[in-house]
Amino acid sequence: MATAHRPTPEFPQHLRALYEKFPFDRSIAEDPVAGLQGFRSDPRRAEVAGIFAATLAIGNTTAIRGSFAELLRRADGDLVTHLVDAPARERARRLQGFRHRWIRGDQMAFLAGRLHALHASGSSLEQVFADGLASGGFAGGLDRLSQSLRGPKVTSTPPGYRILFPSPLDDAGSACKRLTLFVRWMVRTDPPDLGVWTTVPTSVLRIPLDQHTYWIAYHLGLTGRRTRNWRTVEEVTEALRAIDADDPVKYDFVLCHTGISGDCPKHRDLAVCGPCVVRPDCRLWRGRRVAA
């Protein structure tokens, strides 16, 4: 039986070095969170913009940023006034023909309606998540968010809408990358995150496990699991919590964009991997020496 891959004892220092030398300005400009920076001063608008952007976070970052920009254009830059608080007929008119991969305008209009109902009740996505967190931990918080955004099963719900908001408590145990990413944006105060939620501590966050983060986490030995599901999210987060218990997802952005940018080629390439500070921890280079 093969021995499970583990990073070197020096991995925490290697990861911190990767973080410290990382070109954040380059990668923030390429990330969907770039489109949210102008909403940082208004928690309600930041929440609304964040959940729309996170819902669209399927596919490559260029397409996601383009679709979110198109959503803003259709709302004249004000998602609250012209979508969330607008009459249903106005939402439908503005979003007619909108599409991002398999996400349609009628689904985005329905999401706006769900947000309007939530705000009209005097609540917020922060309150919904915090209530679930208090009773069921982080997974419970995501489940409450999912249930609130899905809404009740009614005939007016657009086809395919409810599956946009999976829960880690569903039978499939989804990794819930987009909702987990949304919560990270709202909670963490360090750039590029917005830090507009004040009732949720960074210590409870879980890593948004997209394909890039998962690939790198697996090859660094942060998980041995071969399926990207909620159990894998918990395993990777625990490995990172051992490095920073107060902010276990501090390194998420760096790990993700190391993959997106091509800084990690995902195969052995000495020209790229040679200078990489976490190369000694990577399973692709296990047992291989590189001349100084």
pLDDT tens per residue across span 196-224: 999 999 999 999 999 999 999 999 999 99
For residues 149 and 218, membership in a common domain is answered with no
- Selection from 151, 149, 161, 156 nearest residue 124 by Cα: 149
Q: Which domain holds residue 238?
A: 1-30+206-292
For residues 190 and 231, membership in a common domain is answered with no
Q: Please check whether residue 241 is in contact with residue 229, taking contact to mean a CB–CB distance below 8 angstroms.
A: no
For residues 210 and 98, membership in a common domain is answered with no
Q: Which two tokens stand for residue 24?
A: 């954040």
Categorize the per-residue pLDDT at 154 as very low, low, confident or very high, splitting at 50, 70 and 90.
confident
Q: Which two tokens stand for residue 225?
A: 């699991």
Out of 177, 201, 225, pick the residue that ends a domain.
Answer: 201
Q: In this predicted model, what pLDDT tens digit does every residue of 157-187 receive, in sequence order?
A: 999 999 999 999 999 999 999 999 999 999 9
For residues 109 and 253, membership in a common domain is answered with no
221: phi > 0 → left, psi -120 to 50 → alpha, else beta; which?
Answer: left
Is 287's pLDDT higher than 90?
A: no
Residue 35 one-letter amino acid:
G
Categorize the per-residue pLDDT at 290 as very low, low, confident or very high, splitting at 50, 70 and 90.
low
For residues 82 and 186, membership in a common domain is answered with yes
pTM over 0.85: yes
Is 153's pLDDT higher than 90?
A: no
Out of 155, 181, 201, pick the residue that ends a domain.
Answer: 201
Helix (H, G, I), strand (E, B) or coil at 104: strand
For residues 84 and 136, membership in a common domain is answered with yes
Give how far Cα 168 sits from Cα of 19, 55, 97, 105, Å.
Answer: 29, 16, 31, 26
Q: In this predicted model, what pLDDT tens digit does every residue of 46-68 receive, in sequence order?
A: 999 999 999 999 999 999 999 99
For residues 141 and 119, membership in a common domain is answered with yes
Q: Please check whether residue 6 is in contact with residue 221, taking contact to mean a CB–CB distance below 8 angstroms.
A: yes
Percent of the chain exceeding pLDDT 70 equals 98
Out of 166, 201, 236, pick the residue that ends a domain.
Answer: 201
Predicted pLDDT of residue 1: 44
For residues 151 and 230, membership in a common domain is answered with no
Categorize the per-residue pLDDT at 260 as very low, low, confident or very high, splitting at 50, 70 and 90.
very high
- Selection from 61, 189, 54, 154 nearest residue 108 by Cα: 54
